[in-house]
Amino acid sequence: MQIHIIKQPISRSELVKIAEEGFGDLVKAVVDVEEGIIALGAELHSDGEALLLQSGSKQNNLWGINLYPPRYGEDFVEFDSVINLRPSAGNLSRGVDNPQIQEKILDIVNKLIKE
């Protein structure tokens, strides 16, 4: 599985191709809410996280999500990843507990993945 760092918009059909390289109907993604970029297609969220960290991202800006290319609306993005567990930062679940961070993530996803 190849990890793609997305800085410019891609189409939904390109996302489908990334999904087909891995899990079929699911793409694991890590979003850098400060840089506005996404790592797509890792086998584990931690692999995407590591690549973004090597590229200069900061740990506290990285959040793991799952994207489901066949789905639309609220079903397209799932806030669920082990890398989101951050008790010291107040995030006590695998989700993204802060609604403002969720909104940033959704804004970035919507800017970078087009219909």
Q: How does strand 62-67 pair with strand 27-32?
A: antiparallel
State residue 101's pLDDT score.
97
| Helix or strand holding residue 113 (H, E) | strand 113-114
In this prediction, residues 89-93 reach a mean pLDDT of: 93
In this prediction, residues 42-50 reach a mean pLDDT of: 97
State yes or no: pLDDT of 78 exceeds 90.
yes
| Domain containing residue 103 | 4-114
Q: How many domains does the chain have?
A: 1
State yes or no: pLDDT of 115 exceeds 90.
no
Compute the distance between CA of residue 24 and CA of residue 20 in angstroms, rounded to an integer: 4
Contact 12, 112 (CB under 8 A): no
**Mean pLDDT across the chain, nearest whole number?**
96
Q: Which distant-in-sequence residues (6+ apart) come within 8 Å of 13 by Cβ?
A: none
